Amino acid sequence: MAPEVLYNGITLGTPWPPRLRYPDEQPVAPPYLRNPPAVIPVDVGRQLFVDDFLIDETSLVRTWHHAQYHPDNPILEPETPWERRDPVSERLNHKINPAAMVFSDGVFFDPRDRLFKMWYMAGYGTATCLAVSDDGIRWTRPSFDVVPGTNIVHNEMRDSSTVWIDPFDPDQRRRYKMSYWYDNAILLAASPDGVHWTSLGTASRALDRSTFFFNPFRKVWVFSLRGVNYPGGGINSRYRLYWESPDFAAHGAWTHPPVAWTRADVYDAPLPGMTQPSELYNLDCAGYESLVIGLFSIWRGESDDREKVNDLTIGFSRDGFHWSREDRTPFVPVSDTPGAWNWANIQSAGACCLIVDDRLYFYVSGRQGEPGTNRPGVCSTGLATLRRDGFASMDWRRDDARPRVLSRSGLPGGYLTTRTVTFNGSHLFVNANVEGELRVEVLDERGQPIAPLTRERCRPLRTDHTRALVEWSGGSIAQVAGRRVKLRFWLDEGRLYAFWISRWPSGESRGAVAGGGPAFAGPLDDRPPVR
């Protein structure tokens, strides 16, 4: 069988996925960064500069950016009697840990119902509820008939759970898919409405905190499974195992064995004073634009006077398996203030993020903890936001003294030249914050400008915009569609986050949109169908 070639020119290795027994002890650069394709197609999604995959040469310097907490946090707190349940603590006569928190679960914008929907853990491990919102910030609890008078949609004990909206399944009775962990197994279910669920059986025996996601680029379901006890690890030696299938309901001791995937490593520092190595507690993933993003829940230790501390770092994959994690500082941190809603522990939501106007919305669970104990305390849901595409920017400041490691030719000023790319679109867009000006020129494979798409004839951009159109006097990027070319961005005082080439002047990227958003009719940033 011929190797699989992806939308971005990457050829997957064989066998796929790689057959690893344990994840690499040290960080290893993804194979597509060590040996990138000779030509990179850029027709799918916004092209982000979160690694050097797209960059041939540059004098710009990468800056990492982190999500910022919304001022109204927590946006969902345990209020109802069913959210104030904690059966284990009740049975042991301990203080209860009320919960209304995403523990993976899922947050989506449902284009069919035009609503934000949040599935979440109600009560500590007790049930799964559904809340809805018009804006993604203010949430209400509808009354459903599963448990009359409540918003419970799945009234079974659970640890972590994942819910996914699947618009591709021709059987609309399975439009919503769920996995949940109970009694050392992953159980599967499907629903036509996200409320009434039918069992699909047991996927396999598994450890808790196991989740799944849909890879939209390869059309496979990927289970992110908890593994433990790799050689040389910490207390639990938590890491992640990987299992994929085009069939969500392929189950029964897994149809092929999971393989080792990824782990925390020496660059994931434990909390000061902790002697245990950090561990990878969970990994939620989603397709975003032209790549897969991963929210790495890093366990940084625990003690008798503070509940286990987890925060979120960010990773990026262009083949859905190998990760680039250049920035290890917390993308969404825990609070340093005892008593804050997120002092003890935060973890991600399934689908990772939503796109709302020009912002990305990241929903997280937050455990308040109880200082002096290792109990979770009140468990709520919060929101952090980021500029769209804003994970990393390529910056040019005249006074920036950081090393310019990819600058080889000695060209003056701020510039970034891509590797050789191809495309079929006709409109070039950028996401940029430009205080000076930004111009673009198109080069042939030898590096020579192609008239009239030159720097001199490019209309300068002076804007802070997540979707800015690049134009030339007397020319159009459509003139080189289908050719092998390079793009050179000239930037004076500003940040460049992404570029893409759209088929339409309105700028849709045809990329993946993670959990969706009000602007999208489906799982892609695509033109709505003509009716």
Considering the entire predicted model, what is its pTM? 0.96
Determine the pLDDT at residue 21: 75
The rounded distance, in Å, linking the Cα atoms of 196 and 145 is: 9
Tell me the mean pLDDT in the region 106-122: 97
Statement: residue 23 has pLDDT above 80: no
Contact predicate 364/100, CB 8 Å? no
Determine the pLDDT at residue 231: 64
The domain spans of the chain are 41-64+394-513, 68-387
176 versus 230: the higher-pLDDT residue is 176
The rounded distance, in Å, linking the Cα atoms of 30 and 37 is: 13
pLDDT range class, residue 435, cuts 50, 70, 90: very high
Contact predicate 23/230, CB 8 Å? yes
Neighbours of 114 (CB within 10 A): 9
Asked which of 96-110, 128-142, 303-317 is least confident by mean pLDDT, the reply is 303-317
Contact predicate 526/61, CB 8 Å? no
pLDDT range class, residue 64, cuts 50, 70, 90: very high
Q: DSSP 3-state assignment of 440?
A: strand
pLDDT range class, residue 271, cuts 50, 70, 90: confident
Q: 132-182 pLDDT, tens per residue?
A: 999 999 999 999 999 999 999 999 999 999 999 998 999 999 999 999 999
Statement: residue 233 has pLDDT above 80: no
How are beta strands 512-513 and 279-289 bridged, if at all?
Answer: antiparallel
Statement: residue 250 has pLDDT above 80: no
Statement: residue 230 has pLDDT above 80: no
Statement: residue 528 has pLDDT above 80: no
Percent of the chain with pLDDT over 90: 82
The rounded distance, in Å, linking the Cα atoms of 186 and 178 is: 10
The rounded distance, in Å, linking the Cα atoms of 421 and 427 is: 15
Residues in Cβ contact with 456 at an 8 Å cutoff, skipping those fewer than 6 apart? none
Statement: residue 407 has pLDDT above 60: yes
**CATH fold of 68-387, please?**
Tachylectin-2; Chain A (2.115.10)
Q: 455-465 pLDDT, tens per residue?
A: 999 999 999 99
pLDDT range class, residue 252, cuts 50, 70, 90: low
Statement: residue 253 has pLDDT above 70: no
Q: State the average pLDDT for the chain.
A: 94
pLDDT range class, residue 203, cuts 50, 70, 90: confident
**Between the CA atoms of 183, 264, 315 and 56, what dihedral angle is there, to the nearest 10 degrees?**
-150
Task: Tell me the helix, strand and coil percentages in the chain, rounded to 5.
Answer: 5, 40, 55
Statement: residue 59 has pLDDT above 60: yes
Determine the pLDDT at residue 228: 81
Determine the pLDDT at residue 301: 85
pLDDT range class, residue 477, cuts 50, 70, 90: very high
Statement: residue 220 has pLDDT above 90: yes
Residue 331, CA atoms < 13 Å, CB-side half-sphere: 31
Amino acid identity, residue 208?
A: D
**Between the CA atoms of 295, 354, 171 and 157, what dihedral angle is there, to the nearest 10 degrees?**
60
The rounded distance, in Å, linking the Cα atoms of 153 and 245 is: 27
Determine the pLDDT at residue 527: 81
* b/e 117-131 (16+ beta carbons within 10 angstroms → b): bbbbbbbbbbbbbbb
Tell me the mean pLDDT in the region 82-107: 93
R_g of the chain computed on alpha carbons: 23
Asked which of 1-10, 301-310, 433-442, 474-483 is least confident by mean pLDDT, the reply is 301-310
CA 419, 487, 457: angle at the middle one, nearest 5? 165
pLDDT range class, residue 257, cuts 50, 70, 90: confident
Q: 364-402 pLDDT, tens per residue?
A: 999 999 999 989 999 999 999 999 999 999 999 999 989
Statement: residue 433 has pLDDT above 70: yes
Residue 80 burial by Cβ neighbours in a 10 Å radius (0-12, 13-18, 19+)? middle
Among 369, 497, 356, CA closest to 438? 497
CA 326, 288, 415: angle at the middle one, nearest 5? 55
The rounded distance, in Å, linking the Cα atoms of 225 and 209 is: 7
